[in-house]
Structure 1
Amino acid sequence: MSAAEFLFTSESVSEGHPDKVCDRISDEVVDLYFRKAIEAGYETPRVRAACETAATTNRVVLLGEMRGPDTITPDMVEEVVRAAVRDIGYEQDGFHWETLELNNYLHAQSADIAAGVDEGTGTFTDEGAGDQGIMFGHASDETDEYMPAPISYSHRILKRLAELRHSGERPEFQPDAKSQVTMRYRNGVPVGVDAVVVSTQHGAGYSTEEIRELVRPVVTEVLPEGWFPPEENFYVNPTGKFVIGGPDGDAGLTGRKIIVDTYGGAAPHGGGAFSGKDPTKVDRSAAYASRYLAKNVVAAGLAKRCTLQLSYAIGVAKPLSINVNLHDTANTDERKLEARLMEIMDLSPRGIRTALGLNRPIYARTAAYGHFGRSPDNEGGFSWERLDLVEQLKDLAG
């Protein structure tokens, strides 16, 4: 294989994967706090959430620090936990939405952390970042949604499996699943698929070959025509049967699938997870802002690929740095682009939250199939996928 030709692989996991069950629950709790804040007339910028979830055989444990209206009760939290598990589809002996045991250890946010983040209460007068850290955003012209192709197709395979399961058309499929797509690139452009791996939980009594033939049309439908891998590189449940799955088969934790959540390894990740966090946590909000800017850069024709890094200090509003890398595909000057991006978007936590409308109950929908490459919705979800900065960037081309 020449230097101009290479293979790259990304994986995705389904909404029923144990870690994704935990991400979904954590984000449902965040949404609950925003919903109840709006209902109670509580200022949504004051909501704080850092909800971690662990799950194992018929048990869910909530840990973390929260702040919100007094109207929120433990019963409300339990209700959203059980509803999330039911919606995913778990009604199994080892993990069932109705019979699982819930241990809720959520408590009030640390006063020391609050003092560094709330406006006018810390060392600096402006509302500061909820933590220090580095965040990355990325975009590529490989797909219509400006995402790297391997992670995009991995997500699509699992979303289609879930659609067939939820509709009742394929009751053989159960909630837990993983996919992996190996893409062949030539001169930086994806030209075909070299291998596909799909492992899906299934009902008892089905052979591996039967499940393989149920998965085959899904992969054929998702991949472009002619891109189905060689038969010897099409793997379905390669260890054999997969009946015991979900948190009954493997414990889950919030935040363990950060590469699945982002770009499938095709771009750097700052290290912080997203789910369970309110938007003062720049792990989440600045990663969304970075994606927003990078996507608009590529859509404006300034590059074929863009990776953007931001960095923050806890309690400090202004980002410490911005770096744009156009991967030798630039149609503009990277340093001039950095300056323009800082001009057209306030990258303080409050500025990001305001520009993207993040103080809303929009987070549970992000918990599976990636936080990026999705379509903005009417309720404000995936606002960071908008392309409304393109006109402000086009004049930098050339």
Structure 2
Amino acid sequence: MNNNNYLLTSESVSGGHPDKMCDQISDSILDAYLEQDPLSRVACETSITTGLVLVFGEITSKAKVDIKNVVKETIKNIGYDKPGYGFDSESCSILIALDEQSSDISAGVTDSLETRETDSQEVGAGDQGMMIGYATNETKPLMPLPIFLAHELTKEMTNAMKNNTIKYLRPDSKSQVTVEYNSDHAPQRVDTIVISTQHDPDVNNE
């Protein structure tokens, strides 16, 4: 590798990875509330371990949502529908610990500084966040090449699992892609690809 070149590595995890499972469950609960009540305020978190889902946070809404059913359907759609997988949508325990949005946060959202000082109808933010990143013309989605390739690989593994193209695959998988860049920050080649996946116990490396 040229001395002025450098390597950039990114990884992607599939929907069956615990982190992604938590995201999808929380997102599905949010969608279910917004479908019934677009003004719902949902600060919903999910934590999981083997055979157990904990849903907690603050929700204020007029909607009536069967949260346990939403959780089960989400897990089933991910692919965890057999006890032998270590997680099963029908047999897992689901604990729910939800309160209404706190009065302090509600006041900051409903009666924000902007609405008090002007005629603006904008609502305030109920939380803060810091994000970093950039768009690039390396790929059509304007994502850096390493993360784009990593996402494509996990997407293909998920498709192969769901349509039974590769029969021994299970829902949890991960990919890691390393790309070499030159001093002008242009990708030159794919240096390394690493793929790991949950699979049936009778599969070997051969």
Same fold flag (TM > 0.5) = yes
Preserved contact between residue 4 and residue 188 of structure 1 (Cα < 8 Å)? no
Pair 1:148 & 2:148 matched: no
Give me the identity figure in percent: 41
| Within-5 A mapping of 1:67-78 | 67-69=60-62, 71-73=63-65, 76-78=66-68
Letter of the 1:22 partner, please give it: C
Q: Aligned-pair distance for 1:157?
A: 0.4
1:22-76 Cα offsets, whole Å, 9 max, x none, are 1110100100111121xxxxxx2x311111111111110001001111x414xx1
Pair 1:111 & 2:103 matched: yes
From 149, 159, 170, the equivalent of 1:174 is 170
Structural RMSD (CA): 1.5
Question: Could you say which residue in structure 1 is the equivalent of 2:35?
Answer: 35
Pair 1:87 & 2:77 matched: yes
Question: Could you say which residue in structure 2 is the equivalent of 1:57?
Answer: 50
Whole-Å Cα distance in 2 between the matches of residues 132 and 85 of structure 1?
29
Whole-Å Cα distance in 2 between the matches of residues 59 and 184 of structure 1?
41
Letter of the 2:27 partner, please give it: D
From 128, 133, 144, the equivalent of 1:132 is 128
From 179, 186, 190, the equivalent of 2:187 is 190
Preserved contact between residue 12 and residue 178 of structure 1 (Cα < 8 Å)? yes
Q: Which has the higher helix share?
A: 1
Q: How many residues align?
A: 197
Which consecutive aligned stretches of 4+ in structure 1 deviate over 4 angstroms post-superposition? none
Q: Aligned-pair distance for 1:114?
A: 0.7
Q: Aligned-pair distance for 1:6?
A: 1.2
Question: Could you say which residue in structure 1 is the equivalent of 2:21?
Answer: 21
Whole-Å Cα distance in 1 between the matches of residues 73 and 171 of structure 2?
15
Q: Aligned-pair distance for 1:196?
A: 0.7
Q: Which has the higher strand share?
A: 2
Question: Could you say which residue in structure 1 is the equivalent of 2:160?
Answer: 164
Return the TM-score normalized by structure 2: 0.90
1:343-383 Cα offsets, whole Å, 9 max, x none, are xxxxxxxxxxxxxxxxxxxxxxxxxxxxxxxxxxxxxxxxx
Q: Aligned-pair distance for 1:123?
A: 4.3
Preserved contact between residue 168 and residue 199 of structure 2 (Cα < 8 Å)? yes
| Within-5 A mapping of 1:364-379 | none
Structure 1, unaligned stretches of length 5 or more?
38-43, 210-398
Q: Aligned-pair distance for 1:137?
A: 4.9
Q: Aligned-pair distance for 1:2?
A: 3.8
Whole-Å Cα distance in 1 between the matches of residues 133 and 29 of structure 2?
26
Letter of the 1:127 partner, please give it: V
Whole-Å Cα distance in 2 between the matches of residues 16 and 22 of structure 1?
10
Whole-Å Cα distance in 1 between the matches of residues 194 and 51 of structure 2?
28
Question: Could you say which residue in structure 1 is the equivalent of 2:118?
Answer: none
